[in-house]
Structure 1
Amino acid sequence: MTSPAPLLVVGDALLDHDVHGRVDRLAPDAPVPVVSGPRRASRPGGAALAACLAAADGRPVILVTALGDDPASRALRDLLAGRVDLVELPLTGDLSSKTRVLVDGRPLLRLDDGDGRAREATEAARRAIAEAGAVLVSDYGRDTVAVLREDLALAAARVPLTWDPHPRGGPPVPGVRLATPSAAEARTLAHTATSPTADHDLHTAAQDADRLVHAWHAASVAVTLGGRGALLSHGGTPLLVPSPVTADGDACGAGDRFAATAAGLLADGELVETAVRQAVHAATRYVAEDGVRSDAVDAGRAEPRAADRAPAGDALRTAARVRAAGGTVVAAGGCFDLLHAGHVALLQAARRTGDCLVVCVNSDASVRRRKGSGRPLVPEADRIRVLRALECVDAVAVFDEDTPERLLAELRPHIWAKGGDYALARLPEAALVESWGGQVVLFPYLDGRSTTGIAERAALTPGRAAR
């Protein structure tokens, strides 16, 4: 397997702080909430967050940014040590930082400190840009990008350059391969005459993207739409890339995750359409796995994962939410290779017995071990997509082992549903399910339906090679 290509990140680094606490009363001297039991954490922000996320994908990353001798700059250097290589510009003033106060995972208040700006370019920074094979620009309007603008313009004519804009920053240099504004940013930057608080519909997003492609002389613009995905425009009919699932989590930094993924894939030689599709999946997974609080941000490099793999965290949250509301969690498992009427009948019946259905799917490697080298017939990402499209399925999670005990131990469903073809066998996971009071339930087998049978009939169909 080819190693991920190196990426140069240029932009304004920030230092972010999160204060987590609980609120159960108001202050006696003013009608304001009292945050108790605060827990504090610091992490890279801005371009530094984008750089760390790119490094978490397993690629070498150089970050060109402005840092000084102030406490925030020193703290950020410590957080970045061993994760990315730094090329520093001199900073005038203190490094910008922001502090979020969160209660139950939701922001209550934000404090901004520091107004430091990059003072000037350096030869080391110019050389890094000139030697880069791919560049991601993360512009927060603190002059790191401004003092290197001419060098970035030359790079855009030579290598894939992704630009993550900000209303306080300047426009992308001409020739960028991909610009990645959010819907609100695109509306502001395109000067669209709509209310700032209005819903950003697809028509407006397409209009904004088209205007920005022409105004910026960009090859493409992807307007990110939050939980709806992204709209990609090359200056004509746009391509809508929807999110694979609805993710309920901390969205802070999702735009950085999107831009870092897209820029990295362009560095690897992927097409823009492929980069945007996988960036949507990566941003969705990032939010589902608690965003900036995920291991990919707080730790060093994380093992890369397939962009379409169903995050177990989403399934666990679904099960926890239903259980907390007093509902019944149902789980079903299998390979689901060539999804057929028998599978659908089982899943529909299972869903009717409870309040949510989580489907546990064997990974490609697990299917090969169980079914042989010719299987699966349908790859993991496609099997997940088809299962998610079923109305009766609430969440999907993948397991790599031969049997799903590890995943079941985390889900702890009330009901574990299997097809009636297991009636004469003792399921290896039955004892585990019963250990927490769960129940294994068999459903009638829909006679005559099987993946093997369908595959054998297809192999005997005349003219199959022409289709």
Structure 2
Amino acid sequence: MRIVVVGDVMLDVDLSGEATRLSPDAPVPVVDVSGIRSRAGGAGLVARMLAGEGWPVTLVTVFGDDDAGRQLRGELAGVRLVSGPSGHPTPVKTRVRAGSHAVVRFDQGCGKPPVPEMSPAMLRAVEEAGAIIVADYGRGVAASPELRRLLARRTAEVPVIWDPHPSGPEPVPGVAVVTPNLAEATKAAATYASPASGDGAPGDPAAGVGRILLERWQGNAVLVTKGSDGAVLLQRDSVSPLDVPAPRVEAGDPCGAGDRLVAGLAVHLLAGSALPEAAGLAVNDAADFLGAGGVAALPDRSSDHGVVRDDGGDASGPTGASVERPADGPTRLRRATEPLLLARAVRGNGGTVVATGGCFDLLHAGHVRSLAAARELGDCLIVCLNSDSSVRRLKGAERPIIGQQDRAELLLAMECVDAVMVFDEDTPEVALDRLRPDIWVKGGDYKGSRLPEAELVESWGGRCVTVPYHPARSTTGLADALAKVS
């Protein structure tokens, strides 16, 4: 069944570099830009995440008729689009980053736009959805009267997840779940006269404001997200709030975590999970996304091919909308997907999930051979990768030589690796318990001894396997050799 993402899109641009000095003109840092990267933001980012994992998704939105709008369409290559005109310049948000820190953001075209009209093709796409995500970024799409009437009716038929915005309208009544972050929820609750009901958990303001919004918005549930502290779920049919903890990950840039969470909610609800289970899985999905590098680790879609555009919207004639469909048949499960969703999809198709783990600092031929051998054992290979802090605790203050984001990117560049799951603990047991692979693989240097993870893996019916070990090839040996050269 197709997931429809409806909402506002924008062009996000990242200028990255290093800042090692101050400007002589003013006491501000000078950033030597070494990289420029653009991507779809807002509802476009949600749709890209879903399409990148192989889920059938349609994006219903509006575009500005300008260079930025045309570039934004390019960033959405491979996503099925049903769109209309926005009647306003395309919003562009440019972030300047020095190392891992944001220095400043420039916003262009972000003034108040008119509420756009919904074409028949746009409404028809929402009508045909198996699940709906409203990604409201306060740019008018969610305020369309025609769309709101349709969404209010569809709440009784399919899961509707509403990601609100402070500048946007209230969610329509009856949605499955609304997902404000704590700051958004606090601001929204403060605008209503209703006092806190007192049903929230002691000392947890998220539960209090969530209860206010649950009553005011007349939805079935409100999931208030709290960043690294997880989330709190308030449900209409439950008196007590449910705390949803988040796994601990090392992540610098939280951008995109909320988008990843709503994408996960749609997938898990569509798969038949109850909302409490779906919320827990979605929080873990968001943590995995950040642990794997966040938006910086997303693959570049601007060079994708295989898209056919039908400016008429469908075969029946002009509708004033634009529709884009993949030209190469069924959507494929792309690489760099989130590991838990990949494992679930492979198992759902009767396949075998294989996992292995390690630091993979200075990737060498021994790693490549072992990984290739592991991939031959099943239908996907997921690498559990020690985070930078984990490597430092295990190997010492001088390690890792290569940061976790680059290590993950190098692994994903290998044909045999399908996903990377970054973990922050000293051992992979917590990651393994969440992933639950059918086969856990280690190098043959463990031959003759029982693997430390064997008891855990066997507890869910998995098995442990060793693959050939290649002596004289090690990260430590490479590091020593490099030290001598330098």
TM-score, scaled to structure 2 = 0.67
Equivalent-residue separation in structure 2 for 1:261 and 1:435 (angstroms)? 39
2:32 is equivalent to residue 36 of structure 1 = yes
| Greater Cα offset, 249-258 or 49-58 | 49-58
| Cα pair 1:209 1:222 within 8 Å, conserved | yes
How high is the sequence identity, in percent, across the aligned residues?
Answer: 36
| Cα pair 2:5 2:47 within 8 Å, conserved | yes
**For each residue in 1:402-450, what CA deviation from the matched residue of structure 2 results, as whole angstroms up to 9, or x when unmatched?**
3488xxxxxxxxxxxxxxxxxxxxxx47754585289xxxxxxxxxxxx
Instruction: Within 5 Å, give how 1:128-207 maps onto structure 2.
Output: 128-147=125-144, 148-191=147-190, 203-207=204-208
Q: Partner of 1:357 in structure 2?
A: 426
2:77 is equivalent to residue 81 of structure 1 = yes
2:130 is equivalent to residue 123 of structure 1 = no
| Cα pair 2:163 2:179 within 8 Å, conserved | yes
Q: Partner of 1:290 in structure 2?
A: 293
2:268 aligned partner, one-letter code: L
Equivalent-residue separation in structure 2 for 1:324 and 1:79 (angstroms)? 41
Q: CA deviation at 1:248?
A: 2.1
Larger radius of gyration: 1
Q: CA deviation at 1:106?
A: 1.3
TM-score, scaled to structure 1 = 0.69
2:374 is equivalent to residue 377 of structure 1 = no
Equivalent-residue separation in structure 1 for 2:478 and 2:71 (angstroms)? 49
Equivalent-residue separation in structure 2 for 1:77 and 1:313 (angstroms)? 34
| Cα pair 1:11 1:65 within 8 Å, conserved | yes
CA 1:184–1:26: 2 relative to 1, 3 Å: same
1:109 aligned counterpart, secondary structure: strand
CA 1:327–1:101: 2 relative to 1, 3 Å: closer
**For each residue in 1:352-410, what CA deviation from the matched residue of structure 2 results, as whole angstroms up to 9, or x when unmatched?**
xxxx8344788633259999xx9943239xx9xxxxxxxxxxxxxxxx993488xxxxx
CA 1:297–1:46: 2 relative to 1, 3 Å: farther
CA 1:304–1:21: 2 relative to 1, 3 Å: closer
Equivalent-residue separation in structure 2 for 1:293 and 1:378 (angstroms)? 36
Equivalent-residue separation in structure 1 for 2:210 and 2:20 (angstroms)? 45
Q: Partner of 2:223 in structure 1?
A: 222
1:315 to 339, 364, 386: 386
Q: CA deviation at 1:314?
A: 5.8
2:436 is equivalent to residue 436 of structure 1 = no
Q: Partner of 2:339 in structure 1?
A: 305
2:167 aligned counterpart, secondary structure: coil
Unpaired runs of 5+ residues, structure 2, are: 196-200, 305-333, 344-354, 358-381, 402-424, 480-486
Q: Partner of 2:106 in structure 1?
A: 111
Equivalent-residue separation in structure 2 for 1:287 and 1:15 (angstroms)? 20
Equivalent-residue separation in structure 2 for 1:364 and 1:167 (angstroms)? 41
1:16 to 7, 12, 15: 12
| Cα pair 2:441 2:466 within 8 Å, conserved | no
Question: Considering only aligned residues, what root-mean-square deviation do their CA atoms show, in Å?
Answer: 3.6
**For each residue in 1:18-52, what CA deviation from the matched residue of structure 2 results, as whole angstroms up to 9, or x when unmatched?**
00011111111111111113311000100000111
| Cα pair 2:391 2:400 within 8 Å, conserved | no
Equivalent-residue separation in structure 2 for 1:247 and 1:368 (angstroms)? 24
**For each residue in 1:187-234, what CA deviation from the matched residue of structure 2 results, as whole angstroms up to 9, or x when unmatched?**
11111899xxxxx99521001111111111111111111011111111
Q: CA deviation at 1:117?
A: 4.4
2:397 aligned partner, one-letter code: A
Equivalent-residue separation in structure 1 for 2:259 and 2:296 (angstroms)? 14
2:43 is equivalent to residue 47 of structure 1 = yes
CA 1:154–1:328: 2 relative to 1, 3 Å: closer
CA 1:321–1:27: 2 relative to 1, 3 Å: farther
Equivalent-residue separation in structure 2 for 1:328 and 1:16 (angstroms)? 31
Q: CA deviation at 1:16?
A: 0.2
Equivalent-residue separation in structure 2 for 1:228 and 1:368 (angstroms)? 32
Equivalent-residue separation in structure 2 for 1:141 and 1:21 (angstroms)? 31
| Greater Cα offset, 133-142 or 144-153 | 144-153
Q: Partner of 1:256 in structure 2?
A: 259
1:246 to 241, 246, 249: 249
Equivalent-residue separation in structure 2 for 1:131 and 1:320 (angstroms)? 48
Equivalent-residue separation in structure 1 for 2:202 and 2:52 (angstroms)? 33
2:397 is equivalent to residue 325 of structure 1 = yes
2:49 aligned counterpart, secondary structure: helix
CA 1:28–1:131: 2 relative to 1, 3 Å: same
Equivalent-residue separation in structure 2 for 1:367 and 1:313 (angstroms)? 10
Q: Partner of 1:347 in structure 2?
A: none
| Cα pair 1:254 1:287 within 8 Å, conserved | yes
Q: CA deviation at 1:327?
A: 7.2
| Cα pair 2:6 2:132 within 8 Å, conserved | yes
| Cα pair 2:391 2:399 within 8 Å, conserved | no
CA 1:18–1:304: 2 relative to 1, 3 Å: closer
| Cα pair 1:179 1:218 within 8 Å, conserved | yes
Unpaired runs of 5+ residues, structure 1, are: 195-199, 330-355, 384-399, 406-427, 439-467
1:108 aligned counterpart, secondary structure: strand
**For each residue in 1:299-320, what CA deviation from the matched residue of structure 2 results, as whole angstroms up to 9, or x when unmatched?**
8733452259998676142245
Equivalent-residue separation in structure 1 for 2:400 and 2:294 (angstroms)? 28
CA 1:367–1:45: 2 relative to 1, 3 Å: closer
2:287 aligned counterpart, secondary structure: helix
Q: CA deviation at 1:185?
A: 0.6
